[in-house]
């Protein structure tokens, strides 16, 4: 896959600095959790698809770490930084063995194939 992202050579030094520092603490928290846990679910409050993904993992007896960032009314900038970092446009974001699986639908497909 060749994911299209804007080349660093096309960014001004000020833009590059801003991007690299934009909620870096939140992105680093996600990276750290992925490094420490076999399964990580990144989500947000009030999102039914996030709840569904967590229930799927619980029904499969698969322990996971859960990181929640705000709700529909809060922390959207923090969630946007995670989306930009991962390239995944929605929540949940499910990581297994350090790899982004995708969201809930992709998790269900992944578990079906693993059986």
Q: Tell me the pLDDT band of 3, cut-offs 50, 70 and 90.
A: confident
pLDDT score of 1: 65
Q: What is the set of domains in the chain, with CATH numbers? A: 11-114 (3.40.30.10)
Q: How far is CA 26 from the centre of its chain?
A: 11
Q: Is the pLDDT of residue 67 over 70?
A: yes
pLDDT score of 88: 96
Distance (Å) of CA 90 to CA 11, 59, 79, 93: 25, 23, 9, 7
Global pTM exceeds 0.95: no
Percent of the chain predicted with pLDDT > 90 = 90
* Mean pLDDT, rounded, for 36-59: 98
The C-alpha atoms of residue 112 and residue 44 are separated, in whole angstroms, by 25
């Amino acid at each position: 896959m060749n994911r299209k992202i804007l080349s660093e050579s096309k960014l001004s030094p000020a833009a590059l600095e801003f991007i690299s520092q934009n909620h870096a603490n939140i992105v680093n928290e996600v990276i750290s959790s992925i490094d420490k846990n076999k399964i990580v679910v990144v989500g947000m409050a009030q999102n039914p698809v996030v709840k569904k993904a967590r229930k799927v993992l619980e029904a499969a007896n698969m322990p996971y770490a859960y990181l929640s960032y705000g709700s529909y009314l809060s922390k959207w900038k923090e969630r946007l930084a995670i989306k930009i970092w991962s390239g995944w446009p929605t929540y949940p974001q499910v990581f297994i063995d350090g790899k982004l699986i995708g969201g809930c639908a992709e998790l269900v497909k992944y578990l079906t194939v693993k059986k």
